[in-house]
Amino acid sequence: MTGTARAEGLRERKKRQTRQRIADIATGLFLERGFEAVTIAEVAEAAEVSVNTVYNYFPAKEDLFFDRQEEKVQHLSRVIEAREAGESAARAVLRDLRTSLEEKTADGLRPEFRRFVQVIRESAALTARVTLMHELICHAVYDTLREETGAGPDDPLPRLIANQLSWVSSVVQNSVIRLVAAGRDPDDVAREALGRLDLLEAMLGELTLNYAVKNTP
């Protein structure tokens, strides 16, 4: 049993490494030449794997570019789940967004992300995928809020709150991407995005801001 478990672990690790290598090579090609100019066949050749192998790991070409999509989609949900005692879901999301801007850890504020943003804006397919990701984030937050509050399927609040929180996040992220793509300095982008976040917080009602407060132990 131990040998089998060890073998399965090694196989999974090898699969993860292969997946990451293909994604890294594809990203390099996309950043160099643009998303539309690179084919799956070229990625496979550069990674020294078959086209079928690429598709086994990445069913769509956009998945190669957004290889961390699932992590991004689940991020707000994990922030909500890990909120502090006495903190609401909205306060946790706002805190996380503010920290990422103040510490410049948001994707768009990292120096290497500038070309990444440019490639997205040049591709209709990638722009559409970003929109889809925002929708997936909203669905994930909705599921988390329902679970955290025990709300029934007919309760409209989890979905309405999820729509608001995912909207706030997308507005901030899209603002950062737009300003970075325009060539603005990261420090200026962070300051402007923080100001935008303050306005967004002021627009949220008390019901949203005080929804799903985590019980104290």
Sketch the domain layout of the chain as residue ranges.
2-65, 69-209
Q: Concatenate the DSSP letters of all residues of the chain into one string.
A: -HHHHHHHHHHHHHHHHHHHHHHHHHHHHHHHH-TTT--HHHHHHHHTS-HHHHHHH-SSHHHHHTTTHHHHHHHHHHHHHTPPTT--HHHHHHHHHHHHHHTT-SGGGSTTHHHHHHHHHT-HHHHHHHHHHHHHHHHHHHHHHHHHHT--TT-SHHHHHHHHHHHHHHHHHHHHHHHHHTT--HHHHHHHHHHHHHHHHHHS-HHHHTTTPPPP-
Question: Which homologous superfamily does the CATH classification assign to the domain defined by 2-65?
Answer: Homeodomain-like (1.10.10.60)
Radius of gyration over every alpha carbon of the chain, rounded to an integer in angstroms: 20
Residue 48, pLDDT > 50, answer: yes
Contact 106, 173 (CB under 8 A): yes
Top-confidence residue, 153 or 217:
153
Give tens-digit pLDDT for 176-196. 988 888 888 889 999 999 999
Contact 217, 84 (CB under 8 A): no
Residue 206, pLDDT > 60, answer: yes
Q: Which two tokens stand for residue 132?
A: 């889809």
pLDDT score recorded for residue 7: 53
Of the candidates 69, 80, 70, 72, the residue with the CA atom closest to the CA atom of residue 164:
80
pLDDT score recorded for residue 148: 93
| Cα 51 to Cα 54: distance, rounded to the nearest angstrom | 5
Give tens-digit pLDDT for 78-129. 999 999 999 999 999 999 999 999 999 887 887 778 888 889 989 999 999 9
pLDDT score recorded for residue 1: 44
Residues contacting 177, CB < 8 A, separation 6+: 108, 117, 120, 121
Residue 201, pLDDT > 80, answer: yes
CATH fold of 69-209: Tetracycline Repressor; domain 2 (1.10.357)
Contact 61, 125 (CB under 8 A): yes
Q: Which two tokens stand for residue 129?
A: 């995928």
